[in-house]
């Protein structure tokens, strides 16, 4: 049986929520992200009115302000974004239990074999879109396809508030004229590598032998070729897949004092570990990212024994910082990330009371922070 996968993408989600909170923002160029007066950070989201000036997500806020000085710049209300996202998911769950939330504003749904119940899939998409708009005041776009890749590309194809239904068997024809960067996962670097080799459109990739991409790009190349040929995953993970937890800080003024950088890393690690424990996870890989003032970015990674302990993760992060900070150039951004998760399990032994006490302490601290705020209790240094 051919799968029927929906991908619902909330259009300019952060901006849409801001307009619900403040209706006077409708029709105006709105930018959610960093403070333009500081000139640091990036655009998290922008309205379609702002995009007419050339703005887009992830653009440096300084460049955005130069292009659109009369825009309305907002820091964002992240708790509200989460609240509305949960409301959207509850609404969609009325129609199917098979939902995978890919991000705060993206949802996959599996309607395979349900045509007899719902009839036209296109009409069902219109109904979902209408309910989200009428009940939550959020605009959305929907893609329908035989797999997740096609559905996701389809939801982007007719934004804003569009519906794209790629009929089974028409995947390659639909993809052929689209630029290579349309394929999920193709960023600026990969786009440049592809165009340097003469691959400008998805058809260029699809019509080239699979072996070429395997040799040129390895496993990633095979995945790219398959996506270009209309292939993709048909299976949803209703629980979602938490692949990593990260926290970054961009300095208001480039920093060169190592002790201050280490203090920032200490704070970031504490936030990451708090999230780990809230999700009942342990991490076995730690990564540190540095971005120098000249925008050169360095990342270092190390495997560790699975843990959620601030002390162990910070010790590893500090070692990675020493390896990454190899230039006497000031730092613009620092970040820490943990990944490769396993679920936490209570495994106290009779002969390791010290470890058991440490685990109880960490969970008590987590509960206090959850109730009274992160700043309610802090660790001392771990050096």
Q: What are the residue ranges spanned by the domains of the chain?
A: 1-168, 176-228, 244-376
- Which of these, 124, 170, 316, 336, lies nearest to 248 by C-alpha position? 336
Tokens of 12: 């300019």
Phi/psi of residue 20, each to 5°? -70, -40
Is the confidence at residue 182, as pLDDT, over 80?
Answer: yes
pLDDT band at 276 (very low <50, low <70, confident <90, very high): confident
Give the residue from 331, 325, 245 showing the smallest Cα distance to 287.
245
Residues constituting the chain: 383
Three-state secondary structure readout of 146-171: CCHHHHHHHHHHCCCCCEEECCCCCH
Q: What is the CATH number of domain 1-168?
A: 3.30.70.270
Provide the terminal-to-terminal Cα distance of the chain, rounded to the nearest Å. Answer: 58
- Give the Å distances, CA to CA, from 8 to 140, 270, 378: 7, 34, 40
Angle in degrees, 0-180, between the axes of helices 78-92 and 121-136, rounded to the nearest 10: 140
pLDDT > 70 fraction of the chain, expressed in percent and rounded: 88
**106 counts as catalytic:** yes
**328: which DSSP letter?**
S
pTM: 0.68
Please name the fold of domain 176-228: DNA polymerase; domain 1 (1.10.150)
C-beta separation of 290 from 321 below 8 A: yes
pLDDT tens string 330-342: 999 999 999 988 8
Element holding 143 (H helix, E strand) = strand 140-145
Q: Residue 38's pLDDT is what? A: 81
Residue 215, exposed/middle/buried by CB under 10 A (0-12, 13-18, 19+)? exposed
SS3 labels along 270-307: HHHHHHHHHCCEEEEEEEEEEEECCCCEEEEEEEEEEE
Q: Tell me if 160 sits within 8 A of 48, measured CB to CB.
A: yes
- Judged by phi (left if over 0) then psi (alpha if -120 to 50, else beta), residue 13 lies in alpha
pLDDT at residue number 347: 46
Assess whether pLDDT exceeds 80 at residue 371.
no
Sign of the four-CA dihedral 210, 216, 217, 218: positive
- Determine the average pLDDT of the residues in 250-258: 90
CATH number of 244-376: 3.30.1490.100
pLDDT band at 292 (very low <50, low <70, confident <90, very high): very high
Evaluate whether 125 touches 144 at the Cβ level (below 8 Å): yes
Residues 6+ apart with CB under 8 A from 253: none
Cβ 6 vs Cβ 111: under 8 Å: yes
Residue 132: which H helix or E strand, with range? helix 121-136
Residue 315 token pair: 């010790």
Using CA atoms, how far residue 364 sits from 355, 359, 360, 370, in Å, is 14, 9, 6, 10
Mean pLDDT across the stretch 216-233? 92
Residue 357 is predicted with a pLDDT of 64
Average pLDDT of 292-309?
A: 91
Radius of gyration over alpha carbons of the chain, in Å? 23
pLDDT of 219 above 90: no
Find out whether 6 and 152 touch, Cβ atoms under 8 Å. Answer: no
pLDDT computed for residue 2 by the predictor? 87
- For the sheet with 140-145, list strands across it: 99-103, 106-110, 5-10, 140-145, 163-165
The SS3 assignment for 46 reads: strand
Give the residue-averaged pLDDT of 209-229. 92
Least confident of 30-44, 238-252, 325-339: 238-252
Write the pLDDT tens digit of every residue in 131-152.
999 999 999 999 999 999 999 9
Which pLDDT belongs to residue 345?
54
- Judged against a pLDDT cut of 70, whether residue 381 lies above it is answered with no
Choosing from 106, 131, 181, 231, the catalytic residue is: 106
């Amino acid at each position: 049986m051919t799968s029927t996968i929906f991908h619902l993408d909330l259009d300019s989600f952060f901006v849409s929520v801001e307009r619900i909170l403040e209706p006077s923002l409708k029709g105006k160029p709105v930018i959610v992200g960093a403070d333009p007066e500081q000139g640091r950070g990036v655009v998290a989201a922008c309205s379609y009115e702002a995009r007419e000036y050339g703005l887009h997500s992830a653009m440096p806020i300084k460049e955005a302000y130069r292009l659109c000085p009369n825009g309305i710049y907002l820091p964002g209300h992240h708790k509200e974004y989460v609240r509305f996202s949960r409301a959207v998911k509850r609404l969609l769950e009325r129609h199917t239990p098979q939902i995978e939330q890919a991000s705060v504003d993206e949802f996959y749904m599996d309607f395979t074999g349900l045509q007899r119940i719902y009839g036209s899939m296109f009409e069902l998409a219109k109904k979902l879109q209408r309910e989200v708009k009428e009940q939550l005041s959020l605009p959305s776009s929907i893609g329908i396809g035989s797999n997740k890749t096609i559905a996701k590309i389809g939801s982007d194809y007719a934004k804003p508030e569009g519906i794209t239904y790629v009929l089974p068997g028409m995947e390659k024809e639909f993809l052929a004229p689209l630029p290579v960067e349309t394929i999920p996962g193709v960023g600026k670097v990969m786009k440049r590598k592809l165009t340097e080799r003469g691959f400008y459109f998805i058809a260029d990739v699809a019509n080239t032998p699979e072996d070429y991409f395997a040799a040129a790009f390895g496993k990633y190349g095979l995945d790219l070729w398959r996506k270009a040929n209309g292939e993709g995953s048909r299976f949803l993970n209703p629980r979602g897949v938490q692949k990593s937890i990260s926290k970054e800080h961009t300095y208001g003024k480039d920093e060169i004092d190592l002790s201050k950088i280490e203090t920032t890393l200490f704070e970031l690690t504490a936030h990451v570990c708090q999230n780990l424990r809230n999700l009942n996870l342990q991490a076995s890989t730690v990564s540190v990212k540095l971005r120098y003032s000249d925008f050169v970015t360095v990342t270092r990674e190390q495997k560790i024994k699975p843990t959620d302990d601030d002390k162990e993760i910070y010790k590893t992060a500090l070692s990675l910082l020493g390896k990454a900070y190899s230039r006497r150039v000031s730092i613009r951004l620092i970040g820490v990330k943990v990944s490769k998760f396993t679920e936490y399990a209570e495994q106290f032994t009779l002969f390791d009371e010290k470890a058991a006490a440490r685990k109880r302490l960490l969970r008590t601290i987590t509960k206090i922070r959850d109730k009274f705020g992160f700043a309610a209790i802090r660790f001392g240094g771990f050096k």
